[in-house]
Structure 1
Amino acid sequence: MGYVIGNIYFITTVAVIGGALFGFDIASMSAILGTQQYKCFFNQTGLINGQCGGPTSSTQGGISAAMPGGSFLGALISGFVTDWIGRKGAIQSGSVIWCIGSAIVCASFSIGQLVAGRFINGVSVGILSAQVPVYVAELAQPSKRGQVVGAQQWAITWGILIMFYISYGSSFLAGNAAWRLPWGLQMIPAVFLFFMFFFLPESPRWLAKHDRWEEAHEVLGLVHAKGDKNAPFVLTELQEIREMVEFERQHADASYLELFKGHMIYRTHIGMFTQIWSQLTGMNVMMLYITYVFGMAGLSGNANLVASSIQYVINVVMTIFALLFIDRWGRRTPLLVGSTLMMIFMFANGGLMASYGKPAPLGGVDGVAEESWDMSAAPMAAKGIIACTYLFVASYAPTWGPVSWIYPPELFPLRLRGKAVALSTASNWIFNFALSYFVPPAFENIKWKTYLVFGVFCFAMTVHVFFAFPETAGKTLEEVEEMFTTPGMRPWKTAVQFQQVRKLEQGTVQSEKLRDIQVEHATEKGGAEVTQEA
C-alpha cells in the first residue's frame, strides 16, 4: 500500500476538512452580506439612508441558495462517484471542484457569476458532506464511530468560526478586497485535503466490495490493531464484511430504486428525515442570516458582527460534548432532547418579538428590508432574543448537529451505503436550498411568525424520532443490518451497546463467531492449535 497512515483520529482530522469547507461558506456569506463593500458592488436597490442597499431580498435569497442547490446535485451524483472511484477518490474530486468554484466566486464581476461559482462550490460540498461520513464510518471501530463521524459537525463549526473572523477582519479592507480575499483564501484547506488523502487508506468495505480482500485485511489491521492482521477484532470484522458482501451479491443489485423497496424504504425514510429535520430546526438559517436576527434585536455594524460571532464560538464549544460522549449517549436521546429544547427557544423568541416589538419603518431597520421588526423600545426583550438564540445554538450543537451526520451511514448495508447516504444528504441540501431562499422574504413578510414555523417543526421531529428512529450506537455496521431485518423491532425499545462492543474490540471477550474464525484461520495456517483465550 506504500506509506499509509492508520491512526483513526489523524484520518478523521484530515477527512473532516471537507466539512469545514461547508462551514467556510456559511460564515463568509453571513459576514460578507452585511458589509457595504459587498452591498455596493452587487447593489440593486440604490441608496437607502445614504448607504448601498445591496441585492434585493429575493436576489440575496437566490445567491445564498445557489450553494445548497449545487450541494443537492453533488450529493446525488456522489453515490455513483464513490462506487466508481472509491471513497478517497470521491473526496479528492470534491476538493478539486471546490477550488474551481472558489476561484469563480473570488473573481466575480456580476451576480450571475457569483451564483455560478457558489453553485459549483455547492457541488463540492454535496460530494464531501455525503462521502466523508461514509468514509470515516467504514474505517472506525464501533465504539469510536460516533465520535469520529461527529467530528464532521465539529469541523463545520470550526470552519464557520474561522471564516467568520477572517471575513470580519477583511471587512475593514477598502474596496472589493473585503469580500474577494476571504472567498479566495477558502481554497487553501481544499488543496491540503487533496494532497493529504494520498497518505490515507481506502475504506476496507469498499475494497472488499471490489474483491480487493488482501488490501481490505491490511487496512483493518492497520487501523484497528496497529498493523496486526491476526488481531481477534480484525478477524471478526473481516469475516462479517465477507459474509455481508457475499449475501448482498446473492440477493440484490445496488441501485437507488432498491432504497424504496420492501423493508429498505423504512431505513431510507429515517436517513432522509434525519437530514431534513436537521434543516427544519432552523439552525443553518440562524447561522446564515444571524445578522438579520440581531439587527432586529437592535444591534448594528460591528456590534452586530461581534455578537453574531459569539454564537459561532458556542457552536464549537458545545459540539465538544458530543465528541466526548455521543457513543455513550447514543443517537435517540440527543435527538429527542435537542429538538425539545430548540422548540422551547424558538417559541420563546417568537413570543418575545410578538409581545414587545412592532413593525419596522418602511425599508426595515437601518435600511435592511429583512430586518422588518423593531425591538428598540424593549431592550430587555431584545436581550432575551439574543440569549434564546445562543441557547438554541447550544442545544443544537451537541445533538442534531453531529447526530445528523453520524446516523445515516449507520443505517444501510454495504451495497447501498454510498447511494443511501448520498440520497439522505441530498435531502438535507434541497431543504437547505429552500430555506436559504425562503427566509429573507419570510423575515420581510411574516416577521416574528418565522420563529413559530420552526418551533412547530421541532415539535413534529420530536414525535417522529420517538416512534420511528431506533438506536444504532455501539453496534457494528453488520449488527445494525441484522437489527433492521429482525421482525417486530420497536425503536423505543432499542438501546446503546457501548460496553459490550468495547470489550470485544479490546479482546476481553470472545464470541462464538470469533472462535470459529480463529479455528478457520489456524487451519489455513497449517492446523496450528487454537487456544481457549482470545
Structure 2
Amino acid sequence: MPFFRQKLSLMLILSTSLLVISAFNYGFSDQAFASCQAMDAFERQFGYYNEKADVWKLRPLFTSLYNSLKAGGQIIGVFLGGYISNKYGRRMCISVMSIYALGSASVVISSRTDAQIQAGRALHYVYLGMQMAVIPTTLTELAPAKVRGGMGVLYWLSIKVGGLVVTSITRGTSSIHSNVAWQIPFGLILVVPFLISWSIWFVPESPRWLLLRGRHSEALASLTRLKPDDTPEESIREEFEIISQKVDHQLEKKGFRDLFMPQNRQRTFVVVAANFFQQATGQAFASQYGTLFVKQLKSVNAFSVTLGTNAVDIGSIAISGSLIDRVGRRTMFHISSTMQTAALMTMGALGTADSSDLAAKRGIVAMLVIYSFSWSLGWAPLTYVLGAELPSSPLREMTLQIAYFVKLITEFAVTFSYPYMETADTPGHVYLGGKLGFIYGSLSAVAVLFGFFFIPETSRLELEDIDRKFEIPTNDVLKSVEDQSDTRQPTIAEVVCKQTN
C-alpha cells in the first residue's frame, strides 16, 4: 500500500493511529449491537416466549426500532460533531465524543427492559455520528496528497477490524446462558473512548483547520510537528506558504446557500447522492441483520458466517487501499458497483428456489458474503473519501451534515422495513428471504449509472486544487492542476459544472 511506503513522521503516525483506533470502536460498537441481538440470552431478556415454536423471540417492532432508532442518534451526532469540530477544533470534538461514549455505553450495559436498551443504543449512536463528522475529515486534512486515498481507506478498514474483533468475542460468549453473554461485548466498548479522551491532546491540531481560522503561527507549529525531524525548515515554510495561499480565499464566511452556488452545487449533489446509494443498496440489511438473516435460513452457523464476512471485508478493504491511489476513485467505484449488483441479483434468483433447498440457502449466504466483499471494495470506504475530498474546505462540514443526514434516513428506511419482510408468521408481514436481493440489486444497478456519469476523479490532487478544478471554467487552466497522467474524459457532472460557471 503506498501509504506505508511514504516517509512519515512519528507524530503523523501517532495522530493517524489515534484516529484509526477511534474508528475501530465505531465498528466494534456497531457489530456488538448487531451480533448480540441474535444471542439466546439477549432474546430471553428482551423478547417473548413463543409457545408454538418453543423458543424465545424478539418482536418485529422491537427489532425494527432497535436497528433503526440509532439513525436518529447518529443524525444528532453528525450535526453536533460538525458544530464542535468546526468551532472548537478536531481534537476537542474527538475528546468530547469519547467522554460521552463512556456514559452512553454504561446505559447499554445496565439495561434490563426494552425501553432501556432501545434508549441506550440510540444515545450511543450520537457518539458514532460524531465520529462520522470528524474522523474522516481529520484523516483527509492530515494526509499528504499522494496517500490521501489510502489514509481515507484506513478509516473503513479500522471499522471492519473492530467488527471482526467483536464478532469473534460474541461468537465465544453466545453460548453463555446469562446476560453476561451480551454484557461482555458491550462492556468492552468502554476501553477505546477512555484511552482516546485524554491521549488525543498529545497530538497537534489540523493545520488546515487552524489556517481556515486565521491562526497562522499555530498552523505552522502544527505542520512542523507533523513533519519528520530531518525535514529542512525551509521546506516546511515553503509548503506552509503554499497551503496558506491556497486557503486564504476560503476564509470568508460561507452560508447554507453557498452549497448550491454554480461552483458548489454539483459537488453537493455528488456527495449527497453517493451517501444515499451507499445505504440504498442494502448495506444496513447485511451488517445489522446479517446474523439474524443467516440464522433464519437454518443452513450454517450464523455467528461463524458473520465472523467470516468481517474477515473477508478486511481483505477487500486492504485491496481497495492498495489500489485507490493507483487506479483512481472512479475505477474502484465501477468495479464495486458491478460486483455487488451481480451478487444481489444472483441472491434474488436463488431466493425463488424451494424453501427446503439447502444448496440454494447456502448459495444465498455465499452471495451475501460476495456482496459484502464488493461493497467494502469501493462504496464502503470511498464514499467517506469522496465526502472528505470533494466539498470545498469552508463548506465541508455543512456538506457532510446534509450527506450524512440523507445516508442515515436511508439506513433508517432499510433497517426499519427489514423485519416486516422476514416474519411471515405475523399478520400483515411477508417472508422474502433471498428475494430481497432483487430490491437492493435494482438500486445497485442505478448506482452503477450514477458512478459512471457523475463521480469525478479526485486522486493526486491537493484539497485546494480540487476547489480550483471546479471553480475555473477553462480547460487549459483545469488541466494545469490535474495530474498529467490523468487523460480520462470528464464526467457529465464536470461538464455541467463548467457550463454553469
Structure 1 residue aligned with 2:248: 246
Contact 2:330 2:457 in 1 (8 A): yes
Alignment partner, residue 123 of structure 2: 120
Structure 1 gaps, min length 5: 358-373, 501-534
The corresponding residue for 1:195 is 198
What is residue 12 of structure 1 aligned with on the other side?
16
Q: Distance in 2 between matches of 1:9 and 1:309?
A: 29
Residue of structure 1 in register with 2:492 after alignment: none
Please say if 1:140 is aligned against 2:146.
no
CA contact (8 A) 2:48 2:57 kept: yes
Query: Percent identity of the aligned residues?
Result: 22
Cα gap change, 1:47 to 1:20, in 2 (>3 Å): farther
Q: CA deviation at 1:225?
A: 4.4
Between the aligned partners of 2:351 and 2:298, the Cα distance in structure 1 is 12
Q: Quote the residue 2:420 is aligned against.
A: 441
Contact 2:40 2:177 in 1 (8 A): no
* 1:468-527 per-position Cα deviation (integer Å, ceiling 9, x unaligned): 1110011000110011113277xxx99983989xxxxxxxxxxxxxxxxxxxxxxxxxxx
- Asked if 1 retains the 8 angstrom alpha-carbon contact of 2:268 and 2:399, the reply is yes
Q: 2:176 aligns with which of 149, 173, 177?
A: 173
Amino acid at match of 1:348: T
* SS of alignment partner, residue 253 of structure 2: coil
1:59 alignment partner, one of 58, 62, 80: 62
Aligned residues: 469
Counterparts of residues 338-357 of structure 1 (less than 5 Å): 338-354=336-352, 356-357=353-354
Q: Does 1:73 align with 2:85?
A: no
Please give the TM-score of this superposition, normalised by the length of structure 1: 0.83
Distance 1:97 1:31, change over 3 A: same
Query: What is the rounded CA distance, in whole Å, between the counterparts of 1:180 and 1:498 in structure 2?
Result: 55
Cα deviation for residue 453 of structure 1 reads: 1.2
The separation in 1 between residues aligned to 2:284 and 2:10, in whole angstroms, is: 34
Contact 2:461 2:481 in 1 (8 A): no
8 Å Cα contact 1:281-1:457 kept in structure 2: yes
Letter in 2 for 1:294: V
Query: Any conservation in 2 of the 1:330–1:496 contact (CA below 8 Å)?
Result: no
Distance in 2 of aligned mates of 1:494 and 1:269: 25
1:486 equivalent to 2:472? Answer yes
Query: Are the counterparts in 1 of residues 272 and 403 from structure 2 also a CA contact under 8 Å?
Result: yes
Aligned equivalent of 1:460? 446
Structure 2 CA distance, aligned partners of 1:48 and 1:122? 36
Distance 1:475 1:173 in 2: 52
1:309 partnered with 2:307:
yes
Residue 325 of structure 1 and its aligned partner are, at CA, apart by 2.2
- Contact 2:347-2:435 within 8 A present in 1 as well: no
Q: Does the alignment pair 1:34 with 2:31?
A: no
Deviates more, 1:116-125 or 1:379-388: 379-388
1:477 equivalent in structure 2: 463
**Deviation for aligned residue 1:59:** 1.6
Distance 1:347 1:272 in 2: 25
- Equivalent position amino acid for 2:288 in 1: L
Aligned to 1:514: none
Residues 122-148 of structure 1, C-alpha deviations (whole Å, 9 max, x = no match): 111111112101111111100111111
1:387 aligned residue? 366
Partner of 2:493: none
Match of 2:497 in 1: none
Q: For residue 433 of structure 1, report the CA deviation from its aligned partner.
A: 2.1
Q: Tell me: CA distance 1:298–1:138, structure 2 relative to 1, closer, same or farther (3 Å).
A: same
CA RMSD of aligned residues (A): 2.4
Q: Deviations over 1:216-252 (max 9, x none)?
A: 11222332443646354x4454234323433123xx5
Counterpart position of 2:157: 154
Say which of 397, 402, 411 aligns to 2:390: 411
What does 1:200-349 correspond to in 2, within 5 Å? Answer: 200-226=203-229, 228=231, 230-232=233-235, 234-249=236-251, 252-299=252-299, 303-349=301-347
User: Cα distance, 1:6 vs. partner?
Assistant: 4.9
Q: CA deviation at 1:349?
A: 0.4
8 Å CA contact 2:10, 2:228 repeated in 1 = no
How many angstroms does 1:46 deviate by?
4.0
**Counterpart AA for 1:299:** S
* Larger Rg computed on CA atoms: 1
More off after superposition, 206-215 vs 466-475: 206-215
TM, length-normalised to structure 2 = 0.88
Amino acid corresponding to residue 450 of structure 2 in structure 1: H
